[in-house]
Chains A and B, each alone.
Chain A
Amino acid sequence: MESLLSIENLEVSFHTSHGVAQAVCGVSYDIGRGEVLGVVGESGSGKSVTALSVLRLVPYPGRISAGRINYEGRDLLQIPEKQMRKVRGDRISMIFQEPMISLNPAFTIENQLTEALHNHRKMSQKEARERAIEMLALVDIPDPAKRIKDYPHHLSGGMRQRVMIAEALLLDPDVLLADEPTTALDVTVQAQVLDLMHRLNERIGTAIMLITHNLGVVAESARRVVVMYCGRVVEQGPVKEIFEQARHPYTQGLLKSIPKPGGRGKLYEMDGIVPSLFELPTGCPFNPRCPQRRPECGKSAPPWREVQPGHHALCWLYA
């Protein structure tokens, strides 16, 4: 598949009064045109910070200290802010976990949706409103011509997330970065929103980077999966291989520790907890919790190796 956006050796650190936290440490992955890529990891794994880096929106005191974001022959980390603004929301857009705080409560849906069309496409109010209504219809908002006059508090959580998706897709972007888009939603509404994102991916061809901690959501939505732990990509491969033949001990542990249908008895427990980013263990960051630890794991960083065609793992087991 043709690569559309590629992240190369990204490093992001947060400089705080407690010291420096390496939130993202040498992350590389790419997303193909029209692809649905799943990015999974637990809290603090750096999955959201990586996505924010793509748009250069890493919050203070975070700093991108190294790396490249290649998009259409340019490095997004090097272009002037003015050009970046034309990429952001237009060619690459993002939706967030919490639809309640991502919409401005003081403006109607119409205000919020047409703003981008005025700024990026110089549309007249009438054109912009028509385009916005069309988008709302596309994301299954009933009676869009009427709902467009509503304020965010008039809408339920699921409707707000659909408005967010409509807003993100207004300018027909190449990539949608979706950061935990269904985490705040109920399971029946989550199914609606995932179904919607799928249909839009097929119809419009927008590539989706689906960032989530929910392994089930990834298994059912993505074609390829990136697994992150402590700011590193520890495994990457086709979805079927990741879920059926995971190679990295962290991925294996994660999959074993979720309850299976019809299962009973004791669940598999991973040792210990995710370490603090301020005091990462030396060598492989997973080594203190790893059941297959070797002497070299605590000494030096593990190599990134192809374990099967298109399937990589960051682990000494495959050195």
Chain B
Amino acid sequence: MSLKTILKVEDLTKYFVVNRSLFSAGEVVKAVDGVSFSLMQGETLSLVGESGCGKSTTGRLVLRLIDPTRGSVHYQGQDIARLPADKMRKLRSQMQIIFQDPWSSLNPRMTVKEIIGEGLRRQPGLSRAQRKKMVLDMMETVGLRPEHYDRHPHEFSGGQRQRLGVARALIMRPKLVVADEPLSALDVSVQAQVVNLLARLKRDLGLSYLFISHDLAIVEHISDRIAVMYLGKLMELASKRQLFAQPRHPYTQALFSAAPTTEVGREKKRIILTGDVPSPLNPPKGCRFHTRCPVAQEDCRQLEPEFKLLAPGHWVACHHPING
């Protein structure tokens, strides 16, 4: 893996105002609150966390599908958070997204050739025949057959639709792909097919993935590094090896221990957290995890921990990180 940084995100923040009306200024949801990380070329960085932690919003901010409230997103050295729309449009082909739900993310009225080839129409100087060839090549790459060319999405199974979504994203030859829960709508026997497809395309095309998921088994399989999010903040970031061998944040530890495995009979020490994730409308003061943290102390309730380096490449936001 080369060590060139393709994406550098600093202090990325997105607040949404909800429940605004004529008589009320509304309330602020701090969906993403000061997130920083970088992604190397050819790397897969996974963002994991439970619902409402801001992982999908982070993915959309990175591609500037929504504008950040604060912070910067440097793509190959250029801050795209401030880029004018016309310049941004030129960059968009290099950054693509694969969505979670292959049923709602494909236009049912479009045929396969239109769905996959739509982006190419904005590229000048391509003849219709060239476009057709590129679409057919990409279909082959993702494992769709040529006779699928004129079909509509409803004629496909979930796994095939997800292949369509992958083909749509990759035909523009992107360098950066945000994959937002690309497997969670698929059956187990089909998940493996899509995982292998994503891994092969990364290798063949030199892609970098920001892989958003809540499935730890798949994250462990596919990632180089992993970032753990909770209520809009990064809790821990480290290489896969470091994180699975020695999680330092109590939340990471609980999250990993909660994931069921298929090993029968081996008694696992499971950390059962109390309560649910608090509302991002009104996140707890101090450390956001302190209301559910099994080792929280007084300072955790008062002071927000900094995201700091504990070991080379291992970042943790905790006042009392767990020692190995």
Q: Are A215 and B262 in contact (CB under 8 A)?
A: yes
Q: Are A42 and B221 in contact (CB under 8 A)?
A: no
Q: Kindly report which residue of chain A lies nearest to residue B274, judged by CB atoms.
A: A192
Q: Are B273 and A267 in contact (CB under 8 A)?
A: no
Known: A243-B264, A267-B196, A267-B221. A257 touches B188 (CB 8 A): yes
Q: Are B276 and A257 in contact (CB under 8 A)?
A: no
Q: Are B189 and A244 in contact (CB under 8 A)?
A: no
Question: Which of A15-23, A130-138, A144-152, A269-277 lies at the interface?
Answer: A269-277
Q: Does B220 touch A at the CB level, under 8 Å?
A: yes
The bracket for how many chain A residues form the interface is 35 or more
Q: Which residue of the partner chain, among B221, B258, B262, B276, contacts A187 with CB atoms under 8 Å?
A: B258
Closest Cβ–Cβ distance, residue B1 to chain A (whole Å): 14
Q: Are B187 and A274 in contact (CB under 8 A)?
A: yes
Contact mask for chain A residues 191-229; partner B; CB cutoff 8 A; 1 contact, 0 none: 110110000000000000000011111011000000000
A214 to B195, CA, bound (A): 17
Q: Does B82 touch A at the CB level, under 8 Å?
A: no
Q: Are A270 and B192 in contact (CB under 8 A)?
A: yes
Known: A42-B188, A269-B192, A269-B193. A239 touches B217 (CB 8 A): no
Contact mask for chain A residues 256-281; partner B; CB cutoff 8 A; 1 contact, 0 none: 01111111101111100110000000
Q: Which residue of the partner chain, among A156, A157, A216, A268, contacts B262 with CB atoms under 8 Å?
A: A216
Write out the residue numbers on chain A whose beta carbons fall within 8 Å of the beta carbon of B160.
273
Q: Are A213 and B255 in contact (CB under 8 A)?
A: no
Closest Cβ–Cβ distance, residue B204 to chain A (whole Å): 14
Q: Are A43 and B262 in contact (CB under 8 A)?
A: no
Q: Kindly report which residue of chain B lies nearest to residue A253, judged by CB atoms.
A: B189
Q: Kindly report which residue of chain A lies nearest to residue B261, judged by CB atoms.
A: A216
Q: Are A264 and B189 in contact (CB under 8 A)?
A: no
Closest Cβ–Cβ distance, residue A302 to chain B (whole Å): 19
Write out the residue numbers on chain B whose beta carbons fall within 8 Å of the beta carbon of A255.
262
Known: A188-B254, A254-B189, A273-B157. A219 touches B221 (CB 8 A): no
Closest Cβ–Cβ distance, residue B203 to chain A (whole Å): 11
Closest Cβ–Cβ distance, residue B112 to chain A (whole Å): 17
Closest Cβ–Cβ distance, residue B229 to chain A (whole Å): 12
Known: A187-B255, A213-B188. A273 touches B272 (CB 8 A): no
Q: Are A261 and B244 in contact (CB under 8 A)?
A: yes
A139 to B254, CA, bound (A): 21
Write out the residue numbers on chain B whose beta carbons fall within 8 Å of the beta carbon of A262.
220, 244
A219 to B266, CA, bound (A): 10
Closest Cβ–Cβ distance, residue A68 to chain B (whole Å): 30
Q: Kindly report which residue of chain A lies nearest to residue B273, judged by CB atoms.
A: A188
CB contact list, B188-208 vs A, under 8 A: 188-193, 195-196, 199
A280 to B157, CA, bound (A): 15
Q: Are B273 and A261 in contact (CB under 8 A)?
A: no
Contact mask for chain B residues 256-274; partner A; CB cutoff 8 A; 1 contact, 0 none: 0111111111001010111
The bracket for how many chain B residues form the interface is 35 or more
Closest Cβ–Cβ distance, residue B194 to chain A (whole Å): 10
Known: A257-B191, A269-B192. A188 touches B50 (CB 8 A): yes
Q: Are A213 and B187 in contact (CB under 8 A)?
A: yes
A262 to B256, CA, bound (A): 13
Q: Are B260 and A269 in contact (CB under 8 A)?
A: no
Closest Cβ–Cβ distance, residue A217 to chain B (whole Å): 5
A187 to B50, CA, bound (A): 7
Write out the residue numbers on chain B whose beta carbons fall within 8 Å of the beta carbon of A192.
272-274
Q: Are B192 and A267 in contact (CB under 8 A)?
A: yes
Q: Which residue of the partner chain, among B159, B196, B259, B276, contacts A273 with CB atoms under 8 Å?
A: B159
Closest Cβ–Cβ distance, residue B312 to chain A (whole Å): 21
Q: Kindly report which residue of chain A lies nearest to residue B278, judged by CB atoms.
A: A156
Q: Are B195 and A187 in contact (CB under 8 A)?
A: no
Q: Does A240 touch B at the CB level, under 8 Å?
A: yes
Known: A219-B260, A220-B260. A42 touches B196 (CB 8 A): no
A186 to B258, CA, bound (A): 10
- 14 contacts across the A-B interface (CB closer than 8 A): A188-B50, A188-B255, A188-B292, A189-B50, A191-B257, A191-B260, A216-B217, A219-B261, A220-B268, A239-B264, A240-B265, A258-B191, A262-B220, A262-B244
B residues in contact (CB < 8 Å) with A: 50-51, 157, 159-160, 187-193, 195-196, 199, 214, 216-218, 220-221, 244, 254-255, 257-265, 268, 270, 272-274, 276-277, 292
Top 8 A-B pairs, shortest CB-CB distance:
A216-B260, A259-B221, A186-B50, A191-B258, A257-B192, A42-B187, A267-B192, A156-B276
